[in-house]
Amino acid sequence: MNKQDTQRLTKRAALLKSLAHPSRLLMIEMLEKAPRCVGELTEAVGSDITTVSKHLAVLRRVGLVHVEKHGTYSEYSLACDCVTHMLDCIESGMGKTVRGSTCETPKPENKQKK
C-alpha cells in the first residue's frame, strides 16, 4: 500500500469510527432533517450536555458536522447529507430493510484472476 492509499484509508477508517455509536447516529439522522442546537440533540439523545458536546466534537473532527455560532447559541448541521443513505444502502445489501430505502448501486462483478 502506498502513502496516498494509507492516508485515504486512514481518513475513511476515522470517518467510520466516528459513526460507531448509537447516539452519534441518532444525531446524524436528526441533523439530516434540519440544523439543530445542542439542547435539541441533548434532549433526543437523553444524555447530559457534556456527553453530547463530546459526540459532536467527534463528528466535527472528521468533517461530518459543521457548527455555526450566533453569539452564545450554536447551530449544528450536516456537512454531507448522504451518510444515512450510505448506512441504509449497506443494511439493504445485507438483506435488511431499513426505513424503506433500497440501494441503487449495482454490485461490482466478481473478477477472477486468470
Looking at per-residue pLDDT, the higher value among 6 and 103 belongs to 6
Give the model confidence (pLDDT) of 3-61 as tens digits. 999 999 999 999 999 999 999 999 999 999 999 999 999 999 999 999 999 999 999 99
d(CA 74, CA 42): 13
Q: Residue 96: what pLDDT?
A: 60
Domains of the chain with bracketed CATH = 3-79 (1.10.10.10)
pLDDT confidence of 111, banded at 50, 70, 90? very low
> Among candidates 68, 7, 84, 76, which has minimal Cα distance to 35?
76
Query: 89 by DSSP, 3-state: which?
Result: helix
Say if residues 15 and 62 touch (Cβ distance below 8 Å): yes
Model confidence, pTM: 0.79
∠ CA 27-29-35, rounded to 5°: 70
Cell numbers standing for residue 78: 450536516
